[in-house]
Each structure stands twice: as structure tokens, then as C-alpha cells.
Amino acid sequence: MMALSESQIPPDAKHYLVCGTEDCKKNCQFYCNDCHQPLCEQCRDEHQKNKKTKNHEVVPYKLRKRQLPVVKCKIHPTKEIDLLCGECQIPICSKCTGTKEHRSHWFTNLEMVFAEKVSIYNKEIANIRSYFEPTSHDLKREIAGDVTEVKKTMEGIRTSMKAEAESVKKLVDTVTSDKIEQVDKVEQSLLQTLYDQNQEIDDYINTLNDLVQTFYGYLSPSNIEQLTFALKSENLIIRPIPETSKPVPPIFTAGQYSKEDVAKLLGRITVPNTKPENSKIKPMETASPQLKPTGKQRKQDREKSNMKQTLSLSSSVTKVREYTVPGVTDVYHISLGKSGRFWVSDIIGNLVQTDLQGNQLQEIQTSGGSEGYHTITKDGDLIYTSKRNKVINRITPDNTITEFIKTGDWRPLSIHSSHIKGDILVGMDTDREAKVTRYNKTGTEIQNIQRDKKRQKLYSGLPRYITENINGDVCVSDWRKNAVVVVDKSGQHRFSYTGQGSRFNPNGICTDVLGHILVCDGISFTVHLLDQDGQFLSLLLTKQQEVKYPCSVCVDDENNLWVGQRYTNTVRVYKYLQ
């Protein structure tokens, strides 16, 4: 690795700086403010033992005073500028103090002023980098999100308007059809009357023609008897012409409407007379670069919140797929990563990474066994416990294994990387005690959970599996206590779940987006489903789902449940939410 000089390194950069002692190439950790020299730990000790330098101010490198740049005085070229005239507020050399321009003025060591300014500016740079700049970018992302929401809202309004107009059109068509049917019936009635009248006239004309023929017969009688009959007959009278009537058709009165009347039938757009609410900007003094959510995280939170509102327990559990993992005898714990990769461990310490096609990508021999001793961090690294060496190891993207955290006298058993803040929760024990320790993502210990308010032990010795719920609760499968022990994020005991029968042996445990707690029972060989307050809901997986010996569970980003079992290297995936 190439060493950089101090002048080449930005104040907020992470870098490797070598010790300034001649022929020493060790990493610099300290700084002598008098000599302006970076020092390693060994050279620091020698520096403080030396009679000439033992009274020098040696501080941690981050607390160093910046060395004043060497600048020659323009008036006195042989002298260096090293003073600040307090009256004129300009840098000068020591010889300038005797000139008439600065006579009787007061002066300050320029190096001290420079160090103060450097410290102030570094803090401002850090503030800009950690707060102002990311906050501004978050506002840009928020504005972009608002643009998307506005477009989505307006498109929804347009769609609703078109749908409402289509509905009105359908109503108009229905009413028009009813009125046309009414017209058809009136027309049919009027025409029927006219047809009847026409038939009556036809019958009358036929009668007249018959009468005419009879009269012609009487005009030239062939015998006297026929004439005598005609004189006596009363049927030879001409009937009056039948009366007919003119039809009275209906009158159509056009509807009286205007554009405004039509507009009233449809919805209207109202722009609220409300002053837009200013975006909430978190104050800098309460902002933390590690905890402050990014725009992407806020989007994921919104998506999870929306998902939580729509998801519910399914009436049945369905197997959607399964994977066979080479290199393990069984599946005691699963850690899901990104890009279709996951890690699986078995009872004899094999820790294997595989892809969804069953290809083994990496294999590690560990001291783990029937515990949840590995997890994937928010950064995508795998970390795992070594109970034999009492350390927590990290595997970096280049597959290098490094010691990450040393746990001292405590034996680390189970581990979980928080999806909320990125903290690392570790269940550990000694000969007589057990506890859960919380570390931040850099490996600094920040919390120990060991006893309740009454100073009673929370855990009895084997915290084999551990997870964190969406409300911050820490859930531990305590194998020796035969219970799931749940504490809140401050470490106060909330409840303990001891199963549904006379015996309960909790193993693998996880939570989902709805706050459910899912835990494997090594006695009944089922998966118990609880709500986040510890109320039993159901036995989620039994032998009916082809699960014989479940011992590990986890939920993926698609809300599917992954289940690992003893005596088989097959991982089954189930859908249980809808």
C-alpha cells in the first residue's frame, strides 16, 4: 500500500499515514505538536523518554495542530511569516513588529490562529459532508418523489373524470333507449288504429260493390218473382260511410340544458386554499450520519408501510420452491444475501455459500453448530461467531476473513444484524451467565442486556438464536430456559413464550414485516406463529407441509418463509402471507 504525505490527504479522508521517524514505516497514530511529526506508538514512547522532547505535546493524530505553511515575508524576504497583527488582522514576520505600521500593536502566534481555523474549517467540512450535503440530496430525492406523486395523482384524476364521463354517457344511452322504446309503442298504437280504420273502409267498399251488383241484377229481372223480392227487401239500403279519425301524434319537447348543466353532472376539480407545508429538515444537532435515512431508505420504508397495510395471513401455506445445498448435512441456520445468494450452516460447522442454482460458491469450516451464528449485514458482508476463539469474524467482498469483534471472556453463540439501524446483536454466555450485547456497525459495544428490573437473569445460558422485530424488540430462543425471551429496545423484559404444550424447545427464530414472530419447536417439530406481543396465532408449518424437523427459519424480501431442517440439506420456501 502506498503511503501518502500529510499534505496530500484531505482532512476528511480515510488514509494510511506512515510514522515520520526516519526508517520507520509503521502506521502513524500520534502526533507531536512541537516537532510537527507523525509518530507510531513505539516512536511516541521513545519520543517522550528522550530528554530533549519529553516535554513536547504528543496527542492522538486526530487532535494534532496543523503546521503553519512556510511563507516568506515580502518586506523582509529572509524572514518567515509567523505572527498575526491583532490590530491590522494581517500576517507578518517578527521583523515587521518594529516597523512604524505596527508599532504599539498587539500580536498573536499565527500558528495558533492557523490551527484554530483549520479545526473550525474541518468541523464545517464534516458538517457539510455529514449533514448539509446529504440533507440537500435527500430533499432533491423528496422533490423527485413529490413530482412522481403529483403526476400519479393528476393521472388518477384524469382517469376518474373519463370514467365518470363514460358513466354519464351510459346513463344517457339508457335513458335515450327507454324514450325511443316509448316512442315505438305510441307509434305502434297510432298505426294500429289507422290500420283498423283502413280495414273498416275496405269492408265498406266491398259492401258497396256487392250492392251495386245486386242493383244491376234487379234492373233486368229474368222473372217477375225476382222483381217482387227486390221490392219487398229491406237489405238494399246503402249504409252510411264509416267514421274515421285523424291520429294525434305525440309532441317532442327538447331538453333545456347548457354546458354548465352538463358540468354539474360530472365531478369538479378543487384546488385547496391551503398553504403548502414546508419540508421537515432534521436539525443538525440531532442528526446522525449513521442513523439518518437516505432517500432510498425512505422509499423502502414507505413501500414496507404500504405492504404492511395490504398483507395479511393466508388461509393456507403453499410451497413455492426448494433448493438443495451441497456441502452440508442439514440446515441449522440460513442467512439470505443479495443477488440470489445465501449462506447455510449445519450441525458440524460447515458454513457454505450457494446460489439459487445449487452451485457452491464458498465453504468455511467453523466452530459453530446448532446455533444461528451467522448473519448478513446491511452492507452485504457476512459476519459469523467463533465460540472457540471468542471472536466475531467478517468476510469482506474479496472473500478475506478478518477478526471484527473480540468478546473477551464471553462465548459468542448467536448473531443478528439489525435491519433497522444496522446494529449487531450477539447472544453470548459464560459458565454461569448469558447476555445479549449490542454493537454498532463499526463494532463498538453500545448496550448489554442481561437482567430485568428486579435484577433477575433474563437468559439461562444458551441464547442459541436471536432476531430483532420491527418495533425494536430483541427476541431470543433460550434453549436452556425452554422459552422465547423478548425484551424491548431499551432491554426491559416484555414477555416470555413457553409454547402450547407441556414441553417447548425453541430453535430458529425470525420476524416478518407484520411483526409476527416465527419460531421452530424441537419437541413438536412445527413452526409456531406469534404476534409481536407474544400471543399464539397458529402452528404455521406441520408435517402436512412436508416439514418433519424444522430448525431454522427466515423471511425474504418477497415475504416468503425459508425453512431449514435436520437430516436433510434441502431448503424449502413457503408463501404464508397474501
Report yes or no on 108 lying in a domain. no
Contact 236, 215 (CB under 8 A): yes
Q: Angle at which helices 224-232 and 133-219 pack, to 10 degrees?
A: 130
Q: Same structural domain for residues 332 and 462?
A: yes
pLDDT at 5: 44
Q: Is residue 143 part of a domain?
A: yes
Residue 169 belongs to a domain: yes
261 and 316 fall within a common domain: no
Does residue 569 share a domain with residue 504? yes
Domain boundary among 211, 241, 265: 265
Per-residue pLDDT, 33: 87
In a domain, 69, yes or no: no
CATH number at residue 552: 2.120.10.30
Q: How far apart are CA 201 and CA 242, in angstroms?
A: 7
> For residue 103, what pLDDT is reported?
87
What pLDDT is stored for residue 267 in this prediction? 76
Helix (H, G, I), strand (E, B) or coil at 337: coil
Residues 119 and 46 reside in one and the same domain: no
- How do the pLDDT tens digits run along the chain, 578 residues long? 334 444 444 444 445 688 988 888 888 889 998 888 999 999 999 999 999 998 898 988 877 877 888 999 999 999 999 999 989 999 999 999 989 999 889 988 888 888 778 878 878 888 898 888 888 988 998 899 899 989 998 998 899 889 889 988 998 899 999 999 999 999 999 999 999 999 999 999 998 998 888 777 777 656 566 666 666 665 667 889 989 999 888 888 888 888 888 888 777 777 777 777 777 777 765 443 333 445 555 555 555 555 555 678 887 889 999 999 999 999 999 999 877 899 999 999 999 999 988 889 999 999 998 999 999 998 888 999 999 999 999 987 778 889 999 999 999 999 999 988 889 999 999 988 899 999 998 899 989 999 988 889 999 878 999 999 999 999 999 988 999 999 998 899 999 999 988 889 999 999 999 999 999 998 889 999 999 999 999 988 887 777 889 999 999 989 999 999 999 999 999 999 98
Whole-model pTM? 0.50
Q: Is 549 exposed, middle or buried (0-12, 13-18, 19+ CB in 10 A)?
A: middle
Q: Same domain for 154 and 51?
A: no
**356 and 443 within one domain:** yes
35 and 182 both lie in a single domain: no
Q: Which residue has the cell 425484551?
A: 487
pLDDT at residue number 398? 75
| Nearest to 540, CA basis, from 502, 508, 566, 492 | 508
Beta-bridge partner residues of 335: 343
The answer to whether residue 361 sits within a structural domain is yes
- Residues 451, 341, single domain; the answer is yes
Q: What's the domain range around 151?
A: 114-265
Of 2, 5, 1, give the one whose Cα is nearest residue 20.
5
pLDDT score at 222:
64
Residues 33 and 169 in one domain: no
Q: What is the CATH number of the domain that holds 27?
A: 3.30.160
Cell numbers representing residue 126 in the block: 464534516
Q: With DSSP H G I counted as helix, E B as strand and the rest as coil, what are the percentages for the chain, rounded to 5?
A: 30, 30, 40
Asked which of 265, 289, 319 is the last residue of a domain, the reply is 265
Which secondary-structure segment (H or E) carries 219?
Answer: helix 133-219
Position 9 scores a pLDDT of 47
Which of 265, 286, 319 corresponds to the end of one domain?
A: 265
Residue 103 within any structural domain of the chain: no
Q: Are residues 224 and 349 in the same domain?
A: no
CA-CA distance, 507 to 520, in Å (whole number)? 5
Which cell goes with 275?
Answer: 398553504
Judge contact between 105 and 91, C-beta under 8 A: no
Directed axis angle between helix 133-219 and helix 295-310, to 10°?
A: 40
Are 461 and 573 in the same domain?
Answer: yes
Is the sign of the CA dihedral 388, 403, 289, 559 positive or negative?
negative
| Domain assignment present for 123 | yes
Q: Give 367's contacts (C-beta < 8 A, 6+ positions apart).
A: 349, 386, 387, 388, 389
- pLDDT of 11: 46
Same domain flag for 56 and 122: no
Q: What total number of domains does the chain contain?
A: 3
- Domain assignment present for residue 455? The answer is yes
Q: Which three cell numbers stand for residue 160?
A: 376518474
pLDDT of residue 138: 87
